[in-house]
Amino acid sequence: MHAICQKNPPASLVAYLNQPKIQSLGFDKARKMYCDSEGRYYGGLLSKLKQMYYPYWERKRKNYRRRKGKVVARKASSASEGKSVDKQLTEYVRSGKRPRSNMARAIIAYFEESAQQRIVAAQVPLYAMQGTRVTQADLIVANADGSLVMIELKCGYNRTQKQGDLKSLPGVPCRQNEIWELQRHYTHKGLVESGLPLIGSHILNVYKEGKDGITVKRRKVPKWALEKLK
């Protein structure tokens, strides 16, 4: 279900993953639900967030703007592509096998060369929403001092139309980026409440741009998320 680096894994991460309640988590493919060793089933985080914040939202593509008379070529996200990248990164963390995907390779290069962080775990399970939901954190990375940061990884370019405001968060536009931030926030919060010490989290957006280029972009946590989400 998850992968942790074999070389010098952070002690706090090992302790977190060794908790019986975390070790017991699994996924029932037939029912498409998370479950534990006692036979309890849990819904995922995104379905709960939709009920709470954006019950009427539908993903609608927004036309690209022209730049200097040309349409910037950016490839939209693909669920299958995102799953493939997740799978290859998980195997990279587990065994050190270099990914085939150029996007996965670009993510690894970003952490090694630009961010100077080490990927120490992938697809880390957690309880969210006071233990009523279960989800997985895409990546956990370690800074040079050993402190841990959670990464919410998003593959593909996502420019979507605004559809009003988020329910219960007046003045916060309902778009794909804001939905991402809700997911990041509650995943981070769930990890901390479950016992993993994190000093931060952010979204890393990876997408194809131009003919052969790949952009890896760290998204700054917006002010509204820091002020309105607790």
pLDDT in tens, 99-113: 999 999 999 999 999
pLDDT at res. 77 = 52
pLDDT in tens, 186-214: 999 999 999 999 999 999 999 988 777 89
Task: Say how far apart CA 97 and CA 6 lie, in whole Å.
Answer: 12
Task: Say how far apart CA 217 and CA 16 lie, in whole Å.
Answer: 29
pLDDT in tens, 62-94: 655 545 544 444 554 567 788 899 999 999 999
Task: Say how far apart CA 187 and CA 150 lie, in whole Å.
Answer: 9
Task: Say how far apart CA 93 and CA 31 lie, in whole Å.
Answer: 28
- For the chain, the domains span 3-228
Task: Say how far apart CA 31 and CA 162 lie, in whole Å.
Answer: 33
pLDDT at res. 66 = 47
Angle 79-95/102-109 helices, nearest 10 degrees?
Answer: 50
DSSP letter, residue 143 = -
- Rg from Cα positions in the chain: 18
Structure tokens of 88? 């290859």
Find residue 204's DSSP bridge partners.
153, 218
